[in-house]
């Protein structure tokens, strides 16, 4: 039996995305009527393919959280000059930096090798290169922010020195670099991290260096998982910071509301991203 609701949602998402993309040059010029400055620095890694998502994500962050010190888009190298210009037009706080100019020159060789063969290796190299000066956020481009995002300002202003992570809804980890069963507990989604201090990546990077096979898609997330847990970081409330695909096969978005801070629209529910963006 055909799931009409699911296919209708996917079709609507596709149409909405195409409309948004067709008007993106005008969209980036639209004023964001927000003056609130927030004590945050934000980084996102994205590519030319995801330009519409990145534009919508940045605009939603500024609208619902506030104007950060800087919102840095790290280009994986595929962004055209025009796309970089479009991103910068969103707001003066936005800058675009090519990944080859952003990453640290002294990253471990195994990380550099991973970056050469897989996009998630590039993401790992970017995460390890983020400078932490005060509260710093990393966010994927397929994350949309909602009115509850003001909660992030409270976390930024908190005296707590502990980092916060987005709990995953599944165990999407590379078991080859997990040595104990207990290391599979409390899986982390690497799409959103709130840093309060620099991380020591060496514990997890040793696992990567010892991996005899080729790193895969989830190797990056597993390294983040091990590193974040090694620092006794705190999970964000999963009801407010949503990483959930339970509504994948129905029409409506079961989680979008004024009370949540964000939702990570991973590939299974990416079409629902576009059901929550003003076209």
CA–CA gap between residue 202 and residue 210 (Å, rounded): 12
pLDDT at 278: 87
CA–CA gap between residue 146 and residue 139 (Å, rounded): 14
2-25 residue pLDDT tens: 899 999 999 999 999 999 999 999
pLDDT at 1: 81
pTM greater than 0.75 (yes/no): yes
33-75 residue pLDDT tens: 899 999 999 999 999 999 999 999 999 999 999 999 999 999 9
pLDDT at 2: 85
E strand or H helix at 70: strand 70-75
Q: Is 185 helix (H, G, I), strand (E, B) or coil?
A: coil
Q: What is the mean pLDDT of the chain?
A: 96
69-114 residue pLDDT tens: 999 999 999 999 999 999 999 999 999 999 999 999 999 999 999 9
Phi first, then psi, for residue 244 (nearest 5°) are -155, 135
CA–CA gap between residue 24 and residue 44 (Å, rounded): 19
Angle, helices 119-129/109-117, rounded to nearest 10 degrees? 140
Q: 152 Cβ partners below 8 Å, 6+ apart?
A: 38, 40, 65, 137, 194, 261
Binning pLDDT at 50, 70 and 90, where does residue 191 land? very high
């Amino acid at each position: 039996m055909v799931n009409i609701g699911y296919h209708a949602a996917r079709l609507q998402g596709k149409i909405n995305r195409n409309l948004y993309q067709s008007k993106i040059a005008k969209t980036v010029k639209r004023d964001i009527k927000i003056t609130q400055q927030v004590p945050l620095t934000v980084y996102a890694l994205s590519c030319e393919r995801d330009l519409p998502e990145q534009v919508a994500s940045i605009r939603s962050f500024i609208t619902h959280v506030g104007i950060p010190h800087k919102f840095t888009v790290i280009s994986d190298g595929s962004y055209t000059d025009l796309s970089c210009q479009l991103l910068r037009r969103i707001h003066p706080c936005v800058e675009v930096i090519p990944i080859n100019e952003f990453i640290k020159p002294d990253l471990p060789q195994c990380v550099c090798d991973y970056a050469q063969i897989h996009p998630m290796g590039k993401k790992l190299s970017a995460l390890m290169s983020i400078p932490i000066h005060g509260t710093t956020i990393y966010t994927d481009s397929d994350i949309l922010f909602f009115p509850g995002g003001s909660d992030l300002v409270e976390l930024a202003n908190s005296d707590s020195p502990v980092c916060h992570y987005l709990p995953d809804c599944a165990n999407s980890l590379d078991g080859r670099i997990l040595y104990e069963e207990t290391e599979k507990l409390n899986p982390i989604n690497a799409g959103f991290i709130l840093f309060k201090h620099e991380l020591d990546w060496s514990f997890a990077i040793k696992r990567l260096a010892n991996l005899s096979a080729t790193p895969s898609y989830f190797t990056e997330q597993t390294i983040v998982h091990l590193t974040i847990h090694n620092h006794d970081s705190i999970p964000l409330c999963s009801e407010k910071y949503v990483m959930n695909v339970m509504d994948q096969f129905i029409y409506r978005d079961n989680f979008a509301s004024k009370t949540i801070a964000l939702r990570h629209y991973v590939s299974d529910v990416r079409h629902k991203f576009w059901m929550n963006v003003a076209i």
